[in-house]
Structure 1
Amino acid sequence: MEVIEASVLSKTGDPQTCEDRYCVTEDYACVIDGATDVSGKRYNGRTSGQVISGVIAETIPMLPADADIREIIDIINETLIRYYKAQEMYDSVTESPYTRPTAAMILYSRSRHTVWMVGDCQCMIDEEAHTNPKIVDDIIANTRSLFLEAEIRKGKTVEELLEKDTGFEAVRPFIQMQYYMQNLQEPNQYGYIAVTGFPFDLGQIKTVCVKPDATSLALASDGYPTIRPTLQQSEDALRDIQECDPLCFREYKLAKGLVKGNASFDDRTYIRLRLKPR
């Protein structure tokens, strides 16, 4: 496989704040989306999202070429736990789930011709898109949307809310509480999986088989509202949303919108690969 184009951009415009990472090796291509920190904790000056995305990106090149997803997740989790213990983070992240480094991840295995999706990420094989949304995101996004609509009815303007997103502050407790729904060992209507270093139900990983004649594969984090066949088209779709709904509460509902002065509402990563038909 050959990288045609790749981009990773921070929502603030400052690369030092970015919680997304990507990694492409001879055997794997991966996009990692470190979850936005809501705890305020820092680990050696880095957010929890930066910590976990960095550790995963450094682990991918060490994976066996033909590993299955169970072996891959075991290796990543073992590496993360070692890191937590070495950095004296283990007790903290065990006791307080919402401080736990968390990431969504989409991984392509060249030898297995498979894409695995853990959490909210997306891919496009040739021109066929695949997404992996989770219900808790929809609930929180709709709750914030309702709150912001009420704020506007009370007299606030979109410009004022871009300065201070009271909707995000309203749903912050829900965002923190959702971590108790993460990686549950028993079925739950709000449960979801994520990479944290701790076990989860591998049966909930979305698996997409890449067709033998596929020639193009794009992987992206959810910083793009919709994945398109090229980076520029994906950027154009993002720009359209930012222009028509910068608060992200009507056309494209999210738990957070565009903060005034930022480049986007979330960090974003896109890589497109040229595949050799089998």
Structure 2
Amino acid sequence: MRVIERFCRGKRADQSLNEDGVVITDGFAAVVDGVTSKSVRHLWRPSGGVVARNLLVDTVGTLPRNATMRETQMTLDRRLRAEYARSDADESVFANEPWERLQANAVVYSAAHREAWLFGDCQIMVNGVQTPTMKRVDELLGEVRSFAAQAMALDGGADSATAPDRMRPPEEPDGSDEVASDESDGGTEHLPGASAASFESESHESIKPNESLIGPIGPDSSVASDESSSRTAEPNGVGQPETEPDDPARNLIMPFLRLQSRFANRRGMYGYFVFDGFTDPTYPIRSVPIAPGDEVVLASDGYPLLRPTLTESERELARLRRDDPSLIHEYRSTKGFVAGQESFDDRTYLRFVA
């Protein structure tokens, strides 16, 4: 492999909260995207996405060069499953409450097998041709969030952040005295109401064996944070908030985002693959053939409009931030850009010649 350019950046100023990662060895190149937490119990520090990313990046680094797709799948998935035994929660929690699991997606290129494996919704482009990876359930909930955001804008304009409270019937309590429980309630969950800069740098280099690229990848590929950016605090001062304080439409769909996890690793219209310690060893995984000399892009979904170069992908991201900052029109997402964050999601981009 000959790397052309690579970039990994968290949306928050504190890069220790970046849930994306990149790893390159003499046999593999992979982009890992830890899933944003929808937890009620808050079992993982600093977040489930960070823990899952770290575990999978480390595990890819130990894979035998000739590991097959299924061997790779089961090795990565077992690593997450093993972590449940080390947590403070009973393992039945992870069996019965899938939103509490460690979850991550990955795209893994195998030099030995000359193919890339799409484990979830990370992205790939080969010689300028992208393979679609958008999940049906993400399309659905992105549409619902768009509907909610537009309805609240009509209802309250600048005061739309209070819309969820104003939609309660008058006789109901306003919820100010209620506290979301972190304890199990017989299967009943208590649901809390719940600048992309242009980039011009390229680096051309050959890969050294077992080179691990995690988080910001050095000064040649970093994007400066807005000086006004700051980490958003959460209770107890740790980790990542489960919802953004100024995204009331996402708060409205949060119960459905948790419900979505019921479809993890299931077949059917809303089913999808995700590493969570419970994957199906026969689940259909898309493989993309890679020939010697092919130019390959691996990326997380932090680039909603993937392009053949990092500069172009960053430019499209900046345009979206300018034209559709809530991500409810052109690209309907389950979350949008918020103040104090560099982008709407962590983002990773790796371009190389096979």
Under a length normalisation based on structure 2, what TM-score does the superposition of the two structures give? 0.72
Matched residue SS, 2:352: strand
2:19–2:49 CA contact under 8 A, matched in 1: yes
| Displacement after TM superposition at 1:201 (Å) | 5.4
Contact residue 293 and residue 353 of structure 2 kept, 8 A: no
Residue-by-residue CA offset, 1:74-95 (whole Å, 9 max, x unaligned): 1112222222213345343223
1:42 offset after TM fit, Å?
Answer: 4.1
Paired residue for 1:45? 45
2:144 paired with 1:138? no
CA–CA distance in structure 2, aligned partners of residues 223 and 94 of structure 1: 29
Which letter does structure 2 place at the counterpart of 1:96? Answer: E
Equivalent residue, structure 2, for 1:168: 250
Query: What is aligned with 1:6?
Result: 6
Per-residue CA deviations over 1:113-158 (Å, capped at 9, x if unaligned) read 1011111111111212223111000000000101111111113149
In our comparison, the structure showing a higher alpha carbon Rg is: 2
> In the alignment, which residue of structure 2 is the partner of 1:193?
273
- For residues 28-107 of structure 1, what are the structure 2 equivalents within 5 Å? 28-39=28-39, 41-43=41-43, 45-89=45-89, 90-107=91-108
Provide closer, same or farther for how the CA distance between residues 107 and 202 of structure 1 changes in structure 2, counting only shifts above 3 A: farther
Please give the alpha-carbon distance, in whole angstroms, between the structure 2 residues aligned to 1:160 and 1:44. 28
2:343 to 264, 269, 273: 264
Structure scoring higher RCO (CA < 8 A, sep ≥ 6) equals 2
The DSSP-based 3-state class of the residue aligned with 2:270 is: coil
Q: Deviations over 1:5-31 (max 9, x none)?
A: 211111123201111111111100001
Q: Which amino acid aligns with 2:79?
A: T
Q: Secondary structure at the match of 2:125?
A: strand
> Against the structure 1 CA distance between its residues 30 and 158, is the aligned structure 2 distance closer, same or farther, given a 3 Å change threshold?
farther
Describe the SS at the equivalent of 2:317: helix
Q: In the alignment, which residue of structure 2 is the partner of 1:224? A: 303
How many Å separate the matches in 1 of 2:44 and 2:37? Answer: 14
RMSD of aligned C-alpha atoms?
Answer: 2.0
2:322, 2:71 → 1: CA distance? 43
CA–CA distance in structure 1, aligned partners of residues 29 and 279 of structure 2: 23
**Is the deviation greater in 121-130 or in 56-65?**
121-130
Change (3 A) 1:253 1:158: farther
> In the TM superposition, what is the alpha-carbon distance from 1:160 to its structure 2 partner?
6.4
Which structure: greater helix fraction? 1
Contact 2:45 2:51 in 1 (8 A): no
User: 1:69 offset after TM fit, Å?
Assistant: 0.8
Distance 1:80 1:163, change over 3 A: closer
Q: Distance in 1 between matches of 2:75 and 2:291?
A: 27
Task: Give every structure 1 segment of 4 or more consecutive aligned residues whose post-TM-superposition deviation is greater than 6 Å.
Answer: 158-163
5+ unaligned residues in a row in structure 1: which ranges? Answer: none
Distance 1:231 1:202 in 2: 34
Letter in structure 2 aligned against 1:14: D
**1:43, CA displacement in angstroms?**
4.5
Identity of aligned residues (%): 32
User: Does 2:205 match 1:204?
Assistant: no
1:120/1:132 contact within 8 Å kept: yes
CA–CA distance in 2 between the matches of 1:208 and 1:98? 30
- In 2 relative to 1, CA 189–239 (structure 1 residues): closer, same or farther, beyond 3 Å? same
Q: Is the 8 A contact 1:120 1:133 kept in 2?
A: yes
SS in 1 for 2:288: strand
1:117-156 to structure 2, matched below 5 A, reads: 117-156=118-157
Query: Which amino acid is 1:179 matched to?
Result: S
2 CA distance for matches of 1:232 and 1:100?
Answer: 35
How many angstroms apart in 1 are the aligned matches of 2:99 and 2:245? 26
Measured in 2, the distance between the counterparts of 1:263 and 1:250 equals 20
Deviation track 1:149-208 (CA, whole Å, cap 9, x = no partner) reads 111111314996997221101110110000001112xx3221111111212254421211
Distance in 2 (CA, whole Å) between partners of 1:239 and 1:25 is 32
C-alpha distance 5-43 of structure 1, shift in aligned 2 (>3 A): farther
Describe the shift of the 1:158–1:145 C-alpha distance in structure 2 as closer, same or farther (beyond 3 A). farther
Contact kept? 1:41, 1:47, Cα under 8 Å = no
Q: Which has the higher strand share?
A: 1
Structure 2, unmatched stretches of 5+, are 163-243
Q: What is the number of residues matched between the two proteins?
A: 272
**Alignment counterpart, residue 177 of structure 1, candidates 240, 256, 259:** 259
Would the alpha carbon gap of residues 182 and 211 (structure 1) be closer, same or farther in structure 2, given more than 3 Å must change? same
Secondary structure of 2:33's partner?
strand
Residues 100 and 196, structure 1, Cα contact 8 Å, conserved in 2: yes
Answer yes or no: is 1:240 the counterpart of 2:319: yes
SS where residue 197 of structure 1 aligns? coil
Farther-moved stretch of structure 1 (199-208 vs 48-57):
199-208
Structure 1 CA distance, aligned partners of 2:60 and 2:23? 7
